[in-house]
Chain A
Amino acid sequence: MPVPGLLRPWGTVVAAVALAAAVAPPAAAAPSRPDAGRAAAAWLATQLDGGHLTNFGVPDWGLTADAYFALAATGADPAATARVRAELAAHVRSYTTYDDWGFPGVRIAGATAKLLAVAASGDADPADFGGVDLRAETLELVDGTGRVRDRIPAELGGDQSNTFAQSFAVLGLARSGGVPQPVVDFLVDQQCAAGGFRLMPDASPTCDGQAGATLDTDSTAMAVQALLAAADAGADGARAAAEKGAAWLADRQDAGGGFGGSGPTSGLNTNSAGLAGQALAAAGYDEAADRAAAWVAGLQRTAAPDAGAIAYDPAGFAAGTIDDVSRDQWRRATAQALLALAGVPFGEIGATPPPTAGPTTPPSPAASPTASAAPTTGVAAPGGGGGLPITGAPAAVLAGVAAALVGGGAVLVVAGRRRRAP
């Protein structure tokens, strides 16, 4: 599949990743430092409390989802990867709602969409993740403008959804059967003419409509990757926006390879560099991605104790050993920083064969049976036109096949891979 502009041939890369995954975890075709990435993920696995990470004793499901992406992107510890995924599946409601605290009816868009992206990046079934149809629930949260919104009553804080939630929704939907075009369009609207994306969509419908909008590295890196996945699923306008975003990111790179965020996080840090490096790799900026990875690797501990851990910033690295107070920051930094080392885009993490019935399964338009609030027009589904299929089965089929996959893994893996390769 020819890809215009700076983007590398996407299909080839996906195929290569898929083939490599037949015997090993997805190897990055992009410039990367897989050994350093695996070391970082292996350290992160040692930080797990059972199957999850905590924030000073409190289960942190968002961070645990980050750990899942980190483990799956590197393939460092398949057992830990499976454990984390099972733990997330067992705690969907703890993350996506306030049910645990006796406030029924709440739905958090960012959490729902992020878990959908988790479920869509591996052998899990996005329509039955711990008994929850995350694809349907994500679609239910899409409003008339294509934006995913929290359902949180005002007295409990109200809607706080942002561009990260939108990106995870686009990514997760694109990888689980197709993404409605309005959901893609709303994300594109968060991009200013300069190419960067803003984090907070509330000030005006579009980024350019907001005077002095702050463009954010991390938001842009997420959006670029989500849009590339959407483009592969056949969405309109997604690839051009992704290329523009990637160019903006490349311009933001520090001479030493690092990236800063925006506002209070504008100092060079590995969180921003991790996401930006990953996005640059996804968009074909190999040299820039490699420099980002090198900068991140320079902040990685290489000696015991805690070999593999990555500091948040040079100051944190210079502080030396990790103590109980600083450990939380190292965990958070490492989970995201290693994405630059792994060099595997979000759209390809866990790109083992999708749980699908076979090559002839038609793409599913508006797969959600309950998506009353969801846009019903223009679902960009994979498998049509020129887009390489990312996944592509109706939710109901996915559910059945997932069960089959769990039981009969290897055979279906090979079969699915054949389908994936052109």
Chain B
Amino acid sequence: MRRLAVVLVAAAATLVVAAPPARAGSAGYCPDARGVTVVVDYGALGGGTVVRCAPGNQPTGLAALENAGFTVTGTVRWGKGFVCRIDGKPGVDAEPCVDTPPASAYWSYWHAPNGGSWTYSSLGVRNRKPPAGSFEGWSFATGSSASAARPPGVAPKRPETAKPAPSRSSARPQPPRPAGERSTGPAVATPPAAPRTTGPTSAPPPTRPPAAAPVPSTTAAATAGGTPSMVDVAAPSAPGGGTPWPALLGLGLAAALGGAALLTARRRRADPGTG
């Protein structure tokens, strides 16, 4: 019984990006310097940028990512020493996660102090201990033969507690607004028009294996704008109604709630006897 419930909840959790109860961590920025804020920018994978908090001390980047509530899939060769999927992305059809993913499509790993700027990590996900109050960033890098990794499309800065977030953003992990609404900041995630295979048009640090970027590495337009106000999910990767992300999210949320309810119910029933 219990096993079934766990499976159900696990299944629900993978459907959801901002699942409330079943997930570790909390949605949005860490409220203070006692946690590590984790920013995941799905880029061309779709799904916008998600900000979550791993509360308390985090021994490694991997721990922070998981304790913030993200599901991590490693590779067959390296296990979770190499982050291959975050919350199931990219999917198995696009990336088998057997060996190290190619430089043309992989999760790039960044870090930043609060209020600082993103730095590409020279350390692996298990090699780095994020300082308390700092930011960990994950940005899916895509490119043709050799891509240009760009930092996550959210500035690494905790919002001032006194200052309310500007207009549209929601600090709560609620189902977002109807499809079509994007974050208020300047284009944050993927450049809308860029086809998937050519990768981002702006290229701050090139790829992890230092690579020849076919992309003219002009300015970091995508990240130059101030602090985008998105908190949990924002910026659908396609302009207009590309992905009905918010709708999916709502569905996922419902599924998660349902799963949790189921779990609770079954647990109650199972509690007395079964182990």
Contacts and interface: CB of A to CB of B under 8 A. Distances in A.
Interface of A: 55-58, 98, 101, 103, 108, 155-158, 160, 162, 198-200, 202-203, 207, 210-219, 261-267, 269, 312-313, 325-326, 328-329
Contact of A264 (B78, B95, B120): B120
A264 B205 contact: yes
Contacts of B205: 263-264, 266
A155 B146 CA distance: 19
A214 B147 CA distance: 11
30 contacts: A56-B126, A58-B77, A101-B76, A101-B77, A101-B98, A156-B98, A162-B209, A200-B103, A200-B145, A202-B144, A202-B145, A203-B144, A203-B146, A210-B214, A212-B215, A214-B146, A214-B213, A216-B211, A219-B210, A263-B149, A263-B210, A263-B213, A264-B120, A264-B149, A264-B205, A264-B206, A264-B207, A312-B122, A325-B126, A325-B128
A55 B81 contact: yes
B129 interface: yes
Given A58-B78, A203-B145, A216-B210, A325 B60 contact: yes
Nearest to A162: B209
B217 interface: yes
A326 B99 contact: no
A218 B127 contact: no
Given A202-B145, A212-B217, A325-B127, A263 B211 contact: yes
Contacts of B52: none
B113 interface: no
Given A199-B210, A263-B120, A264-B210, 9 more contacts: A55-B78, A157-B102, A200-B145, A203-B144, A214-B146, A214-B212, A218-B210, A263-B211, A264-B108
Interface string B12-45: 0000000000000000000000000000000000
B79 interface: yes
Contact of A262 (B108, B210, B216): B210
A200 B78 contact: no
Contacts of B59: 325
Contacts of B146: 199-200, 202-203, 214
Interface string B167-191: 0000000000000000000000000
B98 A200 contact: no
B123 interface: yes
A211 B206 contact: no
B208 interface: yes
A199 B212 CA distance: 7
Contact of A203 (B77, B98, B214): B214
Query: By CB atoms of chain B within 10 A, which of A158, A200, A203, A214 has the most?
Result: A200
Contacts of A198: 211-212
Contacts of A56: 79, 81, 126
A357 to B, nearest CB: 39
B206 A262 contact: yes
Shortest Cβ-Cβ A-B pairs, 8 listed: A202-B145, A263-B206, A262-B210, A264-B120, A263-B210, A200-B146, A198-B212, A213-B212
A158 B102 contact: yes
B250 to A, nearest CB: 33
A212 B213 contact: yes
Contacts of B96: 155-157
A380 B217 CA distance: 39
B56 interface: no
B101 interface: yes
A329 B99 contact: no
A200 B212 contact: yes
A57 B80 CA distance: 11
B129 A157 contact: no
A98 B98 contact: yes
A329 B123 CA distance: 7
A101 B96 CA distance: 12
B9 to A, nearest CB: 28
A324 to B, nearest CB: 9
A344 B124 CA distance: 29
Nearest to A152: B99
B145 A269 contact: no
A199 B213 CA distance: 10
A104 to B, nearest CB: 13
Contacts of A326: 123, 127, 129
Contacts of A101: 76-77, 98
Given A58-B78, A156-B96, A157-B102, A264 B127 contact: no
Contacts of A212: 212-217
A277 to B, nearest CB: 18
A118 to B, nearest CB: 19
Interface in B47-100: 59-60, 76-79, 81, 95-96, 98-100
